[in-house]
Amino acid sequence: MNLSLFDLDNTLLAGDSDYEWGQYLVDRGVLDRATYEAQNQQYYDQYVAGTLDIHEYLGFALRPLAEHTAEDLKRWHAAFMRERILPMIGARSRALVQRHLDAGDLCAIVTATNSFVTAPIAHEFGITHLIATEPESRGGRFTGRVAGTPCFREGKIRRVDSWLAVQGRGLEDFAVSTFYSDSHNDLPLLERVSRPVAVDPDPQLAAEAVRRGWPTISLRG
């Protein structure tokens, strides 16, 4: 059995689900446009630049989950999936995932975006295992805080290692371990697997892929 790991935003998706979730709530009038939209864009720009403070960002991104009921969040997310996420899933992304599933690989999505936003997306791809940033909840309500290690940069390695350890495995147990990503923020995990693949990479990752001889593919179109 081989291991196949997939980043989500701007890799399997032609866009960023975390950013779009915030914008979706703004467009619905759930969040105030003047106070939220500019900050959402600023944090996204920091992520692209590689300067994001993940704990500061998560304090911002998880707050809307804590301010609304589970029923409202579920209803909004169902519409968000239809209106924003499904149009970002292309045929090439679906085919790539299906090829690894059909080969019998152990597959997982590994994403910094929280599991509330991403669990239905993983389900849409038919991927059982989701390694994501976990929002804390108590008494059926989100608290606005993070549970455990954020799944970001080096945190992705820790979270993948912990997930595999529960199954009595390690990365070294797989003949081939593949990780698909678009972002230089994922270099720590890309460097750990036996087959790193750059997917529609940002400029920094594109340069690293060329320097290291890593394959580069496109899932757009």
Residues classed as catalytic? 7, 9
Rounded to 5 degrees, φ, ψ at 151 are: -90, 70
- Contact indicator for 195, 180 with CB cutoff of 8 Å: no
Which H helix or E strand runs over 85?
none
**Checking DSSP bridges between strand 106-114 and strand 129-138, what pairing results, if any?**
parallel
Which residues lie below 8 Å from residue 22, measured CB to CB, with a gap of 6+?
A: 31, 36, 37, 40, 61, 64
Rounded to 5 degrees, φ, ψ at 127 are: -100, 120
Q: Look-up: residue for tokens 């979730």?
A: 21
Return the closest-CA partner of residue 80 out of 34, 21, 164: 21
Q: Is 108 exposed, middle or buried (0-12, 13-18, 19+ CB in 10 A)?
A: buried
